């Protein structure tokens, strides 16, 4: 992907007043699906779904002006830094602190944290979680690139020692703001997952049609046919949920939390199944580094983990359903 | 099913344990802790094997005359358990002594047996098995490596794949096609070969798990003597079946973290609704893994009981690898997802349990394929255990050269 074209894609949904293309979120979903299909090794999700969308939704005018034109021009890479260790981050275990506008603490892992220019960082201020915009080129920031299950996407440990941090959105609302950013990102990530899952099905189908065992193509064996049919079923459940999520995202519907959770759960399930069973259909070749299967297997894990694991979203979905049904 | 040793078995276990305590200590004092797949690790492994052979604990069921222990299958199982507990096992000899050398013993003349069996038992020479090919995986008999008779010799050209340890092995048993004009199973012949021959080239396979434990092996005009043939010309498939009888049992042993380790992880982590260990969805999975693991353990007890009573074990052990490989993948993935965003990290210095769950996640797909895929194993259970009709076969009566291959 050329730099100019990448710049165009990154600014697809950024309003024209900030030098973006001013397109809708449905167009962004289409871009996401193709990135997923190609297992694109670029920091697009971190920059666009996390940083740009976060600033667009919650940033001040000054923050928008500082971030959005540069993202649209392809000059700024972003990231979202919430995790601090194994397990789920909560208000009670959040250790990063902002005092007097200075951020101190460690975030690990941060997807694209080693290449990003700007970060949205979850940290406690006055004992309550807030979200902060941090220029990673500032003094007091140190970064360490870490080994990842998915080496086509980078992850880092970010250490902040009294780094200037500017709050985004309301004080004390950090977890709610992050959840809102993640709701929106979940739909877009679901399209990346869907693109990957469909590609796995295609690769498995093509391989099965060309591979002979016992004098016949293996695609003719019922065990293989059922496996591919199972992939198709899961992928279509994921696609329909993703389309509904795209609508909710595009019009900012009140149904978004439910639609986004459903899209993410279905897409995570479909991609995991398709990526692992595509290896199985490829047999020994699928277990080698030389065949692309493992790139998708790895990316399916990366995409399921990056915005919170599926069980977190299952809990969110059911909580939302409970609230809705109680109302 | 017997849960306890018979008096004779208990006595044997006591004796084995005492031997292991003394010898494992001496072995450790000599070699210390070594990293696998290094020359030093191999030297330690060979030394341990020699020690076992001297003590009568190598190839326990083989006759003492060939260097074995002259013991029973149950004694072999008991020693294996105690050796695992003592933490001194080495994997380099499993395929050679479990599959290849028994084939050599069954199908070669006395001279060949005398030359090879004893050095293999003592760990001086290691053997590999050269069956699988790019075009012959699940369907091994579709292999294409060709041997053509030339006087008293055979000239071999072709390629094998997924050969465990080919790069450190001294000898191998090689299944080749000697007659493409007859149906595929009838045109095969088995040979033993010298892996150090210049006409044999090993290239490591870069696995998705990152390692390079397996190899591609290429033969370019490899010349072997007709006296290296194991079994008759055209009888190679029958010979191979003898070799393969033990493979699925050998691969079946589970590896990687179990329900115990993931339970330990869950105790330390926070989930979406509180402590991960209190999450009901996780608790149900944990219960299922426990039941599966215990099911496998007690299935092994049933096998052992049959061996102990001098009976042939039933087909129940065929469930082993299907359960172990799929549980490995499911359990590893659940653990990685429980770590949430942090689960993406694979550095043992950072990831919980020294990244054992991440490593397991990348190994599991291979275990579901190696030594019989899930699908082939289910066919075996359906057809050989349950007696259900097989698939329609189009390759049984067709000359190999006329069989559709797509290439």
Could you say which DSSP state residue B6 is in?
-
CATH of the domain at A35: 1.10.540.10
Please check whether residue B401 lies inside any domain of the structure: no
Is residue A154 domain-shared with residue A229, that is, in the same domain? no
- Chain A nearest C-alpha distance from B395 (Å): 5
Of A137 and B310, the structure prediction assigns the larger pLDDT to A137
Domain limit, last residue, from A131, A148, A171: A171
| B54 at interface of A, judged by CB pairs closer than 8 A | no
Q: Is residue B276 a part of any domain in this protein? A: yes
Percent of chain A with pLDDT over 70: 98
Judged against a pLDDT cut of 90, whether residue A159 lies above it is answered with: yes
Please check whether residues A101 and A166 belong to one and the same domain. Answer: yes
Q: Are residues A47 and A161 in the same domain?
A: no
Domain boundary among B184, B207, B242: B242
Same domain for B195 and B256?
Answer: no
Chain A nearest-CA distance from B23, in A, is 39
Query: In sequence order, which ranges of B245-313 are alpha helices (DSSP H)?
Result: 247-252, 259-268, 280-308
CA distance B155 to B233: 14
| Chain A with chain B: Cβ pairs closer than 8 A | 177
Task: Give yes or no: residues B186 and B281 share one domain.
Answer: no
Closest of B122, B123, B121, B141 to residue B131, by C-alpha: B141
Instruction: Name the β-bridge partners of A7.
Output: none
A42/A55 same-domain check: yes
B372 in the same domain as B359 = yes
The pTM for the full model equals 0.94
Contact of B119 with chain A, judged by CB distance below 8 Å, is answered with: no
Report d(CA B378, CA B158) in Å as an integer: 31
The rounded distance, in Å, linking the Cα atoms of B70 and A296 is: 51
Residue B252 has pLDDT above 70, yes or no: no
Same-domain check for residues A128 and A209: no
Q: What is the pLDDT of residue A209?
A: 97
Nearest-Cα distance to chain A for B283, in Å, is 13
A267 and A319 in one domain?
Answer: yes
B391 interfaces chain A, CB cutoff of 8 Å: yes
- For residue B250, pLDDT over 50 is answered with no
If asked whether residues B263 and B297 sit together in one domain, one would say yes
Is the per-residue pLDDT at B56 higher than 80?
A: yes
Q: Across the interface, which of A108, A283, A289 has its CB nearest the CB of B137?
A: A283
A179 and A165 in one domain? Answer: no
Spell out the residues 6+ positions from residue B74 whose beta carbon is closer than 8 angstroms to its own.
B9, B304, B307, B308
Give domain status of residue B32, yes or no: yes
Q: Is B255 on the interface with A (CB under 8 A)?
A: no
User: Does B374 share its domain with B332?
Assistant: yes
Q: Are residues B195 and B292 located together in one domain of the fold?
A: no
**DSSP state string for A141-195:** EEEEEE-BS-TTS-EEEEEEEEEE-EEESSTT-HHHHHHHHHHHHHHHHHHHHHH
Contact at CB, B208 and A293, closer than 8 angstroms = yes
Kindly write down the DSSP assignment for every residue of A38-63, as one continuous string.
Answer: TT--SSHIIIIIIIIHHHHHH--HHH
Segment B210-221 mean pLDDT: 93
pLDDT tens-place string over residues B344-387: 999 999 999 999 999 999 999 999 999 889 999 999 999 989 99
| Residues ≥6 apart with Cβ < 8 Å to A100 | none
Is a pLDDT exceeding 60 seen at residue A7? no
Q: What average pLDDT does chain A have?
A: 96
Checking if the pLDDT of A1 tops 50, the result is: no
Residue B248 has pLDDT above 50, yes or no: no
Q: How many helices (H) and strands (E) does chain A have?
A: 10, 10
Alpha-carbon distance of A283 to A272, in angstroms, equals: 17
* pLDDT value at residue B89: 84
Q: Which of A272-276, B27-31, B175-179 shows the lowest per-residue confidence on average (mean pLDDT)?
A: B27-31
* One domain for residues B196 and B257: no
Q: What percent of chain B has pLDDT over 70?
A: 98
**Spatial distance between the Cα atoms of B218 and B283, rounded to a whole number of angstroms:** 50
Tokens 């010979």 sit at which residue?
Answer: B239
Domain boundary among A118, A142, A171: A171
Q: Are residues A29 and A97 in the same domain?
A: no
Mean pLDDT of chain B: 92
Do both A60 and A91 map to the same domain? no
Q: Is the pLDDT of residue A5 over 80?
A: no
Prediction ipTM score: 0.95
pLDDT at A2 over 60: no
Of A109, A279, A290, the CB nearest to B365: A279
A224 interaction partners in chain B (CB closer than 8 Å): 375
- Give the closest-approach CA distance of B180 to chain A in angstroms: 14
Cβ–Cβ below 8 Å for A87 and B271: yes
Q: Which of B242, B267, B284 is the last residue of a domain?
A: B242
In terms of domains, do B261 and B200 share one? no
* Chain A, nearest residue to B204 by Cα: A288
User: How far is Cα A239 from Cα A197, in angstroms, rounded to an integer?
Assistant: 10
User: Are B203 and B259 within one domain?
Assistant: no
Rounded CA-CA distance A117/A113 in Å is 8
b/e sequence B342-381, b meaning 16+ C-beta within 10 Å:
bbbbbeeebbbbebbbbbbbbbbbbbbbbbbbbbbbebeb
Stronger pLDDT, A98 or B320, i.e. the higher one: A98
Q: Which of A86, A147, A311 sits opposite B342 (nearest CB)?
A: A86
Strand duo B229-230 + B214-225: pairing: unpaired
Give the count of domains, chain A.
3
Range(s) of the domain holding residue B342: 247-385
Torsion B26-B31-B34-B40 (CA) sign: negative
CB-based contact B346 A279, cutoff 8 Å: no
List, in order, residues 6 or more apart from A67 with CB less than 8 Å away.
A51, A52, A55, A59, A76, A78, A118, A133
- The domain of A64 spans 3-72
Look at A88 and B272 and tell me if their CB atoms are within 8 Å.
Answer: yes
What's the total number of domains in chain B? 3
Sorting pLDDT into bands at 50, 70 and 90, what band is B254? low
Mean pLDDT, residues A166-185: 97
Instruction: Provide the pLDDT for residue B246.
Output: 60
Nearest Cβ partner for B369 among A214, A283, A311: A283
- Please give the pLDDT value at position B249: 46
Contact (CB<8Å) A83/B342: yes
pLDDT, average across residues B49-64: 95
CA distance A73 to chain B (A): 29
Do B253 and B228 fall into the same domain? no
Let me know if residue B227 belongs to a domain: yes
Q: Give the CATH number for residue B153.
A: 2.40.110.10
Residues A221 and A277 in one domain: yes
CA distance B186 to A85: 60
Quote the pLDDT of residue B205.
95
Whether B237 and B274 map to the same domain: the answer is no
Check whether residue A166 and residue A280 sit in a common domain: no
- B305 in the same domain as B229: no
Peptide bond into A109 cis (omega under 30): yes
If pLDDT is split at 50, 70 and 90, which confidence band does A6 have? low
Q: Quote the tokens at residue A257.
A: 């939390």
Domain CATH for A109? 2.40.110.10
Residues A18 and A101 in one domain: no
Q: Is residue B96 part of a domain?
A: no
Backbone dihedral region for residue A252 (phi beyond 0: left; psi -120 to 50: alpha; all else: beta): left
Q: Do A217 and B347 touch (CB under 8 A)?
A: no
Token pair 């012959």: residue: B136
Evaluate whether residue B262 is within a structural domain: yes
At B332, list the tokens: 């590893």
Q: Would an 8 Å CB–CB cutoff place B352 in contact with chain A?
A: yes
């Amino acid at each position: 992907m050329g730099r100019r074209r990448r710049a165009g894609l990154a600014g697809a949904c950024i309003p024209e007043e900030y030098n973006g293309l001013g397109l809708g979120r449905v167009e962004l979903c289409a871009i996401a699906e193709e990135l997923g299909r190609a297992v694109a090794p670029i920091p697009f999700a971190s920059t666009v779904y996390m940083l740009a969308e976060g600033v667009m939704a919650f940033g001040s005018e000054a923050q928008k002006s500082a971030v959005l034109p540069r993202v649209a021009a392809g000059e700024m890479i972003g990231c979202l830094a919430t995790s601090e260790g194994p397990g789920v981050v909560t208000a009670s275990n959040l250790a990063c602190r902002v005092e007097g506008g200075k951020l101190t603490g460690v975030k690990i892992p941060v997807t694209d944290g080693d290449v990003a220019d700007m970060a949205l960082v979850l940290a406690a201020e006055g004992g309550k979680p807030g979200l902060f915009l941090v220029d990673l080129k500032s003094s007091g920031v140190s970064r360490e690139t870490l080994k990842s299950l998915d080496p086509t996407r980078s992850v880092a440990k970010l250490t902040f020692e009294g780094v200037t941090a500017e709050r985004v959105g309301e004080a004390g609302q950090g977890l709610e703001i992050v959840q809102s950013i993640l709701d929106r990102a979940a739909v877009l990530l679901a399209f990346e997952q869907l693109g990957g899952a469909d590609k796995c099905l295609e690769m498995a189908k093509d391989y099965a049609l060309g591979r002979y065992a016992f004098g016949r193509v293996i695609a003719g064996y019922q065990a293989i046919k059922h496996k591919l049919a199972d992939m198709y079923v899961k992928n279509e459940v994921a696609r329909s949920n993703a389309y509904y999520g795209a609508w909710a995202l595009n019009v900012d519907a009140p149904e978004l939390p439910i639609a986004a959770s459903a899209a993410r759960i279905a897409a995570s399930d479909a991609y995991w199944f398709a990526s692992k069973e595509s290896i199985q259909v490829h047999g020994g070749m699928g277990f080698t580094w030389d065949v692309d299967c493992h790139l998708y297997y790895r990316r399916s894990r990366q995409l399921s983990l990056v915005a919170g694991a599926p069980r977190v979203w299952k809990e969110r979905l059911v909580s939302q359903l409970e609230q809705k049904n109680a109302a | 099913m017997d849960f306890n040793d018979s008096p004779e078995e208990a006595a044997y276990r006591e004796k084995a344990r005492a031997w292991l305590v003394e010898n494992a200590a001496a072995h450790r004092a000599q070699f210390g802790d070594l990293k696998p797949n290094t020359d030093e690790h191999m030297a330690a492994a060979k030394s341990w094997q020699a020690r076992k052979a001297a003590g009568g604990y190598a190839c326990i069921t083989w006759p003492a005359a060939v260097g074995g222990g002259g013991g029973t299958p149950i004694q072999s199982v008991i020693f294996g358990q105690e050796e695992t507990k003592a933490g001194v096992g080495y994997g380099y000899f499993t395929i050679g002594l479990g599959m290849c050398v028994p084939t050599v013993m069954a199908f070669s003349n006395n001279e060949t047996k005398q030359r090879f069996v004893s050095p293999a038992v003592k760990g001086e020479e290691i053997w590999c098995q050269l069956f699988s090919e790019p075009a012959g995986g699940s369907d091994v008999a579709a292999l294409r490596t060709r041997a053509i008779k030339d006087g008293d010799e055979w000239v071999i050209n072709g390629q094998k794949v997924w050969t465990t340890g080919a790069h450190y092995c001294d000898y191998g048993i090689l299944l080749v096609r000697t007659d493409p004009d007859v149906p595929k199973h009838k045109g095969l012949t088995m040979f033993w070969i010298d892996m150090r021959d210049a006409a044999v080239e090993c290239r490591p396979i870069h696995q998705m798990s990152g390692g390079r434990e397996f190899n591609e092996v290429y033969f370019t005009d490899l010349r072997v003597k007709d006296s290296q043939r194991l079994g008759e010309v055209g009888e190679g498939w029958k010979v191979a079946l003898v070799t393969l009888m033990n493979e699925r049992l050998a691969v079946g042993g589970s590896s990687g973290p179990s329900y115990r380790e993931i339970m330990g992880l869950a105790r330390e982590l926070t989930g979406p609704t509180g402590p991960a260990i209190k999450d009901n969805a996780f608790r149900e999975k944990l219960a299922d893994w426990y039941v599966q693991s215990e099911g496998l353990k007690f299935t092994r007890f049933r096998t052992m009981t049959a061996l102990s009573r001098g009976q042939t074990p039933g087909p129940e052990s065929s469930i082993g690898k299907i359960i172990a490989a799929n549980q490995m993948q499911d359990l590893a993935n659940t653990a990685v997802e429980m770590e949430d965003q942090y689960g993406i990290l694979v550095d043992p210095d950072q990831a919980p349990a020294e990244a054992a769950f991440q490593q397991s996640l990348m190994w599991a797909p291979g275990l579901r394929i190696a030594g019989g895929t899930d699908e082939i194993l289910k066919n075996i259970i359906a057809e050989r255990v349950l007696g259900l009709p097989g698939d329609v076969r189009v390759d049984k009566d067709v000359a190999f050269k006329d069989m559709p291959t797509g290439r």
